[in-house]
Structure 1
């Protein structure tokens, strides 16, 4: 069960990503649906916790390959469990394809691999999930464009403007979250000690 500070961090991070997605989505035609942007913000916040990306398998920490997740889904007899596995597959394909394309290209894995695996997983969910079928259908249909949107939002070379820094500072002031403080310090912001904030 996540701690209160972990939950606060994920909520704050989700808000941050949702705001960035809202801004970047203005450059996408047609604009993604609001529930899709909300889902993507939550996905990015969830994967901000490495425990959601990596797991232990046979005593080693690693990420389960997408092809093995696909096999797990094919072998799963319970339709609900199959959907859960395929959601994880689609989410990981979108996340990894958007944030680490160079790493996979060096290993001979093209973007088409992520598009095929993620788009196919979301397509199945669009027809078979208990909830959010319309959302998963959009994720499938527009996978390439949404992958590009996530990549733009998470661009590591992106320069933060003053309003970005101010938003982070306000959130840090409200929550006192040490992870936000570290992010602000990395951006060159000198923070007052916590005792002077009250």
Structure 2
């Protein structure tokens, strides 16, 4: 059970993230539901505690791979436990895909992997969860856009080095995402016409 100070910390951190998410969401059309922004703020605050991200598995403290969480969800008999595991899978896919994409891209794991795993988990929850079905449905339908929102909200104020800018450029080149283009331009990068890239 969390201590009073831990609960206060998470509450304050959740409010901080919610304010930033609400400000960042103004640029999205359509704007995400308020419930979804609250969910994302709580998710980020919860993962502010590394114990919510890491687990002790086979004698090591590590982040359980998304594919193994998916396997766990498929193999579990209880509908309730399946939903819990899939929520953890969706939340981790969103968090890791938004905050640490470069760590995974070095291992050949791209953005599409996080979108597929997280979007699929939230899609199931949108149809089968006891609570928050509308939130999970929106997270499933708009996973890529909300992943970018979380990345932008958590990345503000962070100095980008040349490697970060190159990775951002690569993501823009692969997706053509106008928000990534705007972020690159704000960093002073002159972008070629996307049709001219091969």
Task: Please tell me the TM-score bracket, short chain as reference.
Answer: 0.7 to 0.9
1:131-150 to structure 2, matched below 5 A, reads 131-150=131-150
* Number of aligned positions between the proteins: 159
1:75-114 to structure 2, matched below 5 A, reads 75-114=75-114
**Using the alignment, how far apart are the partners of 2:147 and 2:90 within structure 1?**
11
Deviations 1:59-82 (A, max 9, x none): 210010000000000001110110
The equivalent residue for 2:120 is 120
- Offset at residue 3 of structure 1 (A): 1.1
**Using the alignment, how far apart are the partners of 1:125 and 1:57 within structure 2?**
25
- Offset at residue 158 of structure 1 (A): 4.2
Q: What SS is found at the alignment partner of 2:109?
A: coil
The equivalent residue for 1:22 is 22
Give ranges in structure 1 of 5+ residues lacking alignment: 160-198
**Using the alignment, how far apart are the partners of 2:47 and 2:154 within structure 1?**
12
Deviations 1:121-177 (A, max 9, x none): 000001111111111000000000000000000005448xxxxxxxxxxxxxxxxxx
**Using the alignment, how far apart are the partners of 1:124 and 1:148 within structure 2?**
22
The equivalent residue for 1:188 is none
Q: What SS is found at the alignment partner of 2:155?
A: coil
- Superposed CA RMSD in Å reads 1.0
Q: What SS is found at the alignment partner of 1:32?
A: coil
**Using the alignment, how far apart are the partners of 1:24 and 1:79 within structure 2?**
35
